[in-house]
Structure 1
Amino acid sequence: MLKYLLFTSALALVTVCQEKNPNIVVILTDDQDVVLGGMNPMKNVKRFIGNEGTTFTNSFVTSPICCPSRASFLTGLHVHNHMTWNNSINGGCYGQNWKKLETRTFATSLYNAGYNTFYAGKYLNQYGVPNAGGPEQVPPGWSEWHGLVGNSVYYNYTLSNNGVPTYSTELYLTDIIRDLSINFIENQTESRPFLMVLAPPAPHQPFTPAPRHQGVFNNVTAIKHPNFNIAVNDKHWLLRMPPSPLPAEMIPELDKVYRSRWESLLAVDEMVADVVEALDSNSLLSNTYLIFTSDNGYHIGQFSQVYDKRQPYETDIRVPLIIRGPKVQKNTKNDQPILNIDLAPTIMELAGLLPPQSMDGRPIRFDAQNEEFERNMLVEYYGEGRDGTVDPLCPWSYDSENLAECYPEYDCKCQDSRNNTFACVRHIARRINKKFCRFADSENFTEMYDINNDPYELTNTIDQELPAVKHWYQLLLAQMLTCKGYRNCDNPLENPKVLG
């Protein structure tokens, strides 16, 4: 009898602890920069998450492209470990290898621990397309699933509603995600915690605002930092290709893209306010963590590029990250270096779970504001060449097999190539703020920047560095490209053991 009472008491204690587990809401935007003012339209995000939580000012992604970055977000793994190399099926985006890894996301861990789990919006770029198995598939770990089939759009899309494809032509996708999320919240209780991931399309191309927001930023033009539309001669060949600088008639197009991106984000900002209100109205807000971030940044005109991502510069790899919750300091800025692979172990730890050592990321420390810190962070990109994306109207001859994204409306400035493949160490410490990148091209081109003294990355300092410094970064980068597990990936030269 005594053993039974002890057992039931212990069971009750576990149940009480589980009932107190927090809810977790993640808002993951698509291509939202932070360097070029991408957070300026987000008044509600700043008010309801930023003012009530912590803004992380050194937040980066493992890859400046959607599908690899989202795979890192879900698994806590670097690109070379989850092997989603780019946005194509052949490049691992929702390919067979990914489907094996889907059983190891933070969602499956929380689902198995008793969480209600909900996903709405863009997942991986090739999810639901016929060659990847169609929209009838529901990824493991989600109690309720509303996954967008394919890449970001705002109208004329298909959602997989728990495996049932539903096509819509007239309903604005961000608003549908909002409605689905509020309905889910209103059906939750305090007895069981939930995880909710909202992944709206904004501000991804085609940058379509909701009708109520069209023209709101008519007077806004693109930020023109010192690196805007300048000719370059010390960067890798893709940036050096003509036209450089872009012709003057291209600038109005860049301004149009810039303000359309802002306008498309206003519906996301409204969605955040409505989600917070729903949480509050249902007495769930005080025990909920809200995480706002993006899958990668964006450039618009920097170094005579047009508008895209896929590059190693700060515009493309820095992202917003704002977190609110019971253990998070309010109205605070935190400069600790963070990668998006840190979000999976952070979410697991917030849910009372122990992240596996095989994850390359590490949980965010919300009390680490004044601690000494140093971190070497790996950024990888594996270029993608696609047939049919080199327009024959372009006035000079291009390598149509290996180049990609070359269009007359871009003035035929290509945005990608198979050998636009690079890896970088983003090194941040109290007195260090550097970037070291190597390209896998015929030049083995190398770039290095001192961000403290050159925030716009105007001067490639590689030829000015001491040979010992260059050798150290080369060795470090080589080790990081084979690392597994956060203990190795954070300090590969100090602890070169690779987990199996």
Structure 2
Amino acid sequence: MLQYLFLIFFVNNAVAELKRPNFVLILTDDQDVVLGGMDPMKNVQRFIGKEGITFTNSYVTSPICCPSRASLLTGMYVHNHKTVNNSLHGGCYGENWKDHEKQTFATILQEAGYDTFYAGKYLNQYGTKEAGGPEVVPPGWTEWRGLVGNSVYYNYTLSNNGVPTFSTDSYLTDVIRELGVSYIENQTESKPFLMVLAPPAPHQPFTPAPRHKDAFSNVTVVKSPNFNIIAEDKHWLLRMPPSPLPDVMLPELDQVYRSRWETLLSVDEMVADIIGALETQAFLDNTYVVFTSDNGYHIGQNSQVYDKRQPYETDIKVPLLIKGPGLKKNVENRQPVLNIDLAPTIIKLAGLDIPNNVDGRPIDVHNEDIGERNMLIEYYGEGKDGSVDKECPWKYDSGNLAQCYPQYSCKCQDAKNNTYACIRHIAERIDKKYCLFADNENFSEMYNIADDPYELENIVNHVFPAVKYWYREILTRMLTCSGAHNCDHPLEPLINIF
């Protein structure tokens, strides 16, 4: 009898092990959603969107690669993981990050028995000599194929479990696709798995695969109402000349726009092949597939050239689609979500405990109510030595200005005091944004997105003082919050102040 009970115990545990879900996360680089960045993604929409949930209010904690990716991996706001920009001294794969790296969703799943795999871009400074070189394999990954440095399409080095491998002529997105398919084909039902694929597209230099070159030759940049306008009521960096951009820049914007779409076609093919491999290996029904990006992008809005780093919807709003066991199909979900929510969501869906230091909250994938949420967006401007071209007329102010090049008509894209924090406030009858800049003007901006989706009118000086005070107070508190409860409930709801 005792042997029989032991047999039941072990069989039940084996069955429970098999039922633990798998996870596939596909993370693109600089893919917008506001300017039509999902239009080329027919396979993503077919195999993930129509088979799952498309989140229409999905945001990132910071509109730049390294801080955003650090937030996604840890579930923490930027002020807590302290990766504030893309430089090593700004925490991008610096010593401080290596402490937080020990507790990502990957380390938690791996410790719980998951097999884990990563291929593609990680953090911008990963693998550089100053950060320890490609011999370093981040904790949490059973199989590691990490890109050394920032996104490129050719002439790159991958760390193959700590062994650097250089390639000149293999298109990186295709290599990541092949690695992903091969990984799935070699999995068995004896162990659940987590796979993250992080292709370079559509990041600069916008190099499409040869088979996709000129696929969108007739496509032009979106001429939204805020395209190439004089941004008179916005912070100083946007008011900086030239404004509007000269006509000579416009063909360049068209070329960038269509090239970005062309780079995404190889990602879309990768998604189809990954879904196909999951289906062939009989994993699809027990796998959550997540598609998202690390930040958005602007191309010509507010007379900026092409980049991110700004607090506007183009830069902070990203695609997020999730399909998986038990989820509704072909639905849109309006609940406000942040990329810090993905780590606790994956951990919870895996049936594991979420650490107390996680600032995000698990996405309620079965809830379609919008609810109410105040989301914090942080950006810490980065001045770069040598990034103000000598042909540009701007004085080099102690490294304050950054990315000022003749090909941008000398319109600078960043500065040290392009530093700000915003509250993105979404509820059933509220759709607002409040931003405070750490510049010489202590500039502030506020937009009613519901009535002004292109953020044309800064209403900060036209709202009740009590409303402005409430947003400033909640912003101050959120900049020091830690843990999901504190970051979710810094103040009473807005309606309670009247």
Residues 13-412 of structure 1 mapped to structure 2, 5 A cutoff: 13-369=12-368, 371=369, 373-399=371-397, 401-412=399-410
SS of corresponding position for 1:290: strand
SS of corresponding position for 1:464: coil
Output the CA distance in 2 between the equivalents of 1:494 and 1:211: 54
Percentage identity across paired residues of the two chains? 70
1:297-327, Cα deviation, whole Å (9 max, x unpaired): 0000000000000000000000000001012
One-letter identity of the residue aligned with 2:219: V
One-letter identity of the residue aligned with 1:43: K
Output the CA distance in 1 between the equivalents of 2:90 and 2:326: 39
1:498 aligned residue: none
1:368 CA drift (Å):
1.1
One-letter identity of the residue aligned with 2:380: Y
Output the CA distance in 2 between the equivalents of 1:244 and 1:127: 37
One-letter identity of the residue aligned with 1:29: T
Preserved CA contact (<8 Å) 2:432 2:449: yes
1:160-213, Cα deviation, whole Å (9 max, x unpaired): 000000000000000000011111000011221100000000000000000000
Output the CA distance in 1 between the equivalents of 2:97 and 2:46: 37
One-letter identity of the residue aligned with 2:486: N
1:476 aligned residue: 474
Preserved CA contact (<8 Å) 2:31 2:37: yes
1:46 CA drift (Å):
0.5
Preserved CA contact (<8 Å) 2:334 2:370: no
1:38-58, Cα deviation, whole Å (9 max, x unpaired): 000000000110110110000
1:442 CA drift (Å):
1.1
Preserved CA contact (<8 Å) 2:336 2:370: no
Preserved CA contact (<8 Å) 2:335 2:370: no
SS of corresponding position for 1:463: coil
Output the CA distance in 2 between the equivalents of 1:425 and 1:372: 17
SS of corresponding position for 2:461: helix
1:354 CA drift (Å):
1.7
Output the CA distance in 2 between the equivalents of 1:42 and 1:383: 32
Moved over 4 A (4+): 4-8
Output the CA distance in 1 between the equivalents of 2:274 and 2:477: 43
Preserved CA contact (<8 Å) 1:338 1:364: yes
- What TM-score do the two structures reach when normalised by structure 2? 0.97
1:10 CA drift (Å):
3.5
1:5 CA drift (Å):
5.7
One-letter identity of the residue aligned with 1:63: S
One-letter identity of the residue aligned with 1:231: I
Provide closer, same or farther for how the CA distance between residues 181 and 372 of structure 1 changes in structure 2, counting only shifts above 3 A.
closer
One-letter identity of the residue aligned with 2:453: P
Output the CA distance in 2 between the equivalents of 1:10 and 1:129: 49
Output the CA distance in 2 between the equivalents of 1:325 and 1:93: 32
1:12 CA drift (Å):
3.5
Output the CA distance in 2 between the equivalents of 1:484 and 1:359: 8
1:19 CA drift (Å):
1.1
1:424 CA drift (Å):
0.3
Q: CA RMSD in A?
A: 1.2
Preserved CA contact (<8 Å) 1:145 1:162: yes
Output the CA distance in 1 between the equivalents of 2:396 and 2:234: 20
Preserved CA contact (<8 Å) 1:21 1:351: yes
1:486 equivalent to 2:484? Answer yes
1:494 CA drift (Å):
4.7
Output the CA distance in 2 between the equivalents of 1:445 and 1:13: 61
How many residues align structurally? 493
Output the CA distance in 2 between the equivalents of 1:398 and 1:384: 14
1:14 CA drift (Å):
2.8
Preserved CA contact (<8 Å) 1:327 1:366: no
1:111 CA drift (Å):
0.5
Output the CA distance in 1 between the equivalents of 2:413 and 2:4: 67
Preserved CA contact (<8 Å) 1:476 1:492: yes
Residues 448-459 of structure 1 mapped to structure 2, 5 A cutoff: 448-459=446-457
1:362-404, Cα deviation, whole Å (9 max, x unpaired): 11111211x3500000000000001010000113434251110
1:422 equivalent to 2:407? Answer no
One-letter identity of the residue aligned with 1:199: A
Output the CA distance in 2 between the equivalents of 1:408 and 1:189: 54
One-letter identity of the residue aligned with 1:123: Y
